[in-house]
Structure 1
Amino acid sequence: MTENGGRRQAWWRGMRESVQGADTELWPEGLMEVVPDGLDREYGQFGDLYPQQQLQLQLLYGASQRAFERRTRVSARITVVRVLGNTLSDQRLREAKPNEHLTEYLDQEIADLRGRLAQDSATAVSRGLNFGLAMGSAASLALLVAPLLWGVDLLGALGVTLNCTNRWSLLGAFVCGGVGAFGAVLSVLVRLRGSADQLARRQTNGREGIVVPGQMARSMRHEGVYRVFVGWILALAVYFLLSGGIVTVFEPPATTTEICPAPGNPGSAAAGTEFWGFWCAIGFVAGFNERWAFGILSRDSTRRPGKSS
């Protein structure tokens, strides 16, 4: 393989891992497998005196091999191995009772590892959701542009003729829906700013290690795409309700009849501008309220700390 080919492959692998996470470990290790040579007896003593800390290190070592980012996997595994090595070589381990200082050291290292892996899960959730929103936005843009460019020609090939009023009505629907999709994207980003850790805890039902971070990322990609299309549907629903006169809460400042030329009336460019502005605003507000659908975060998690309902 050429040098440029190797670089492209490494770049592509890095891009794939940044979205999907590092590859799954086919042969994960156990904590017993990284005990330094000649310290097996000390490892048994460690389990007898500090059973809780040994169990936590075992769990964290397994979780470190499932981390989303490769660097996190490497650094967390190295940390566990070094903490274990430091503990097994510590003279205080040979005491008859647990040493309070060694216990404090182990508890602090375990807490640091938990925080690092929790941040890795939050990264997986944020990255998956952001990528899903980007995919949904790209699909939304395609759905918006394709009908505007080729919709009339396609309908003409099918023998359907659209007059000026029909064209403006359809354009209003597509633009309203498209802006609603981007309103949904903004809504999700605003509500989840700084809340990725809460969302990660929700994905695991509050228990660490139940869901692999890579699976969280995939789940949130689907959630991001789903939210964009919820914005589309809400915006279209509001458009048809208002434009069809079913709901008369708002009166459009301009109608398609006022825009399109008629005998003795050349039409009004100002009315067309008002038409676009009104339906873009309606679509954005409708899409921004995609939170009416099943919430990504529960109501309690989106409230500010210390603020009662």
Structure 2
Amino acid sequence: MTDNGGQRHPWWRGLHESVHGADTELWPEGLLEVVPAGFDGAYAKFCDLYPEQQVQLQLLYGASQRAFERRTRVSGRVAVVRVLGNALSDPRLADAKPNEHLTLYLDEEIADLKGRLAQDGATAVSRGLNIGLTIGSAASLALLAVPVLWGVGLLGALGVTLNCTNRWSLLGAFVCGGVGAFGAVLSVLVRLRGSADQLVRRKTDGREGLVVPGQMARTMRHEGVYRVFVGWILALAVYFLLSGGIMPVFEPPATTTEICPAAGSPGSAALGTEFWGFWCAVGFVAGFNERWAFGILSRDSTRRAGKST
């Protein structure tokens, strides 16, 4: 959707940037291009006296143009230009050797800029994961609603007839799986609270700037959807293992044969509440299993984080 100028509507552009990040700079700039007019000689001396800081500012200026959020791109570039301007106009740049106070100023500003960009990468990872979990949860609701509301009718149209026990068994499986999906969502959210920086380090292999934040957001969005379906599969597996009697670990408080009326048995609809409650609890615990959310974080980083607290 575009307006008369051929540009996206502001609300659509804002939604696109929240999900995918700011648009890529087609013509990125270098640090040399933002040197104030008349300061070419000062910049050359700055490169000679402070080569490490010059390289860091160059890298940060490039990283600012790849930031996930547009405001981070703007603020990062403005900050680099301001720091460079302050350094080039500082009278201590005329010294024959690097000045310790100017070096300290540059190092502090560089550390602050790195912190801003690291936070931008953590925002990209967290937002991508949250969106992926939301998409997976919406898909889970659809998967749960279709069989519950229209499953019997669809099977009937195919000529498949279900008796009372079949209906309760199938609905129990879908409800258990759906609750397991939401258990997996909660497990991931609890496990990753405050751990976005560890995810950034893992995705970039510890090297800052190796992966563009927008790419990290897309990767984590896919992983969020994947985690929801892991909860589905795990909960269904536990349901079939327990309900089929393969692993008699727990005895369900009510079975489908006890709920449904049969010859010589009036059945008990009241037991249906216990049936739903039991399998919902089993599905949630199965989906919440920490081992399935544990793989998002590396074991080493998690253990180090645990020791430091």
Q: In the TM superposition, what is the alpha-carbon distance from 1:295 to its structure 2 partner?
A: 0.4
- Does the CA-based 8 Å contact 2:184-2:293 persist in structure 1? no
CA distance, structure 2, for counterparts of residue 246 and residue 158 of structure 1: 30
DSSP-derived class of the 2:307 partner: coil
- Does the CA-based 8 Å contact 1:231-1:286 persist in structure 2? yes
- Does the CA-based 8 Å contact 2:260-2:269 persist in structure 1? no
CA distance, structure 2, for counterparts of residue 287 and residue 36 of structure 1: 58
Q: Is the alpha carbon distance of 1:151 and 1:5 closer, same or farther for their aligned partners in structure 2, counting shifts above 3 Å?
A: farther
Q: In the TM superposition, what is the alpha-carbon distance from 1:11 to its structure 2 partner?
A: 0.9
What's 1:17 paired with?
A: 17
Q: 1:104-143 alignment to 2 at 5 Å? A: 104-143=104-143
What's 1:103 paired with?
A: 103
Q: Deviations over 1:93-130 (max 9, x none)?
A: 11100000000000000000000000000000000000
Is 1:48 the counterpart of 2:48? The answer is yes
What's 2:205 paired with?
A: 205
DSSP-derived class of the 1:229 partner: helix
Report the TM-score, using the length of structure 1 for normalisation: 0.95
Q: Deviations over 1:220-254 (max 9, x none)?
A: 00000000000000000000000111101111111
Q: 1:73-112 alignment to 2 at 5 Å? A: 73-112=73-112
CA distance, structure 1, for counterparts of residue 252 and residue 91 of structure 2: 81
The one-letter amino acid of 1:96's match is A
- Does the CA-based 8 Å contact 2:183-2:284 persist in structure 1? yes
Report the TM-score, using the length of structure 2 for normalisation: 0.95
CA distance, structure 2, for counterparts of residue 95 and residue 179 of structure 1: 69
**What runs of 5+ residues in structure 2 fail to find an aligned partner?**
none
Q: In the TM superposition, what is the alpha-carbon distance from 1:304 to its structure 2 partner?
A: 7.1
What's 1:277 paired with?
A: 277
Q: Deviations over 1:22-54 (max 9, x none)?
A: 001111000000000010111100000000000
- Does the CA-based 8 Å contact 1:230-1:290 persist in structure 2? no
Q: In the TM superposition, what is the alpha-carbon distance from 1:149 to its structure 2 partner?
A: 1.1
Q: In the TM superposition, what is the alpha-carbon distance from 1:302 to its structure 2 partner?
A: 3.0
CA distance, structure 2, for counterparts of residue 215 and residue 236 of structure 1: 32
Q: In the TM superposition, what is the alpha-carbon distance from 1:201 to its structure 2 partner?
A: 1.1
- Does the CA-based 8 Å contact 1:234-1:290 persist in structure 2? no
Q: In the TM superposition, what is the alpha-carbon distance from 1:270 to its structure 2 partner?
A: 2.4
Q: In the TM superposition, what is the alpha-carbon distance from 1:15 to its structure 2 partner?
A: 1.2
Length, aligned pairs only: 308
- Does the CA-based 8 Å contact 2:191-2:294 persist in structure 1? no
CA distance, structure 2, for counterparts of residue 74 and residue 178 of structure 1: 43
DSSP-derived class of the 1:307 partner: helix
CA distance, structure 1, for counterparts of residue 205 and residue 172 of structure 2: 43
- Does the CA-based 8 Å contact 1:259-1:267 persist in structure 2? yes
CA distance, structure 2, for counterparts of residue 62 and residue 248 of structure 1: 60
Q: In the TM superposition, what is the alpha-carbon distance from 1:299 to its structure 2 partner?
A: 2.4
Q: Over aligned residue pairs, what C-alpha RMSD do you find?
A: 2.0
CA distance, structure 1, for counterparts of residue 246 and residue 14 of structure 2: 52
Q: In the TM superposition, what is the alpha-carbon distance from 1:202 to its structure 2 partner?
A: 1.0
DSSP-derived class of the 1:269 partner: coil
What's 1:31 paired with?
A: 31
Query: Between the two proteins, what is the percent identity of the paired residues?
Result: 85
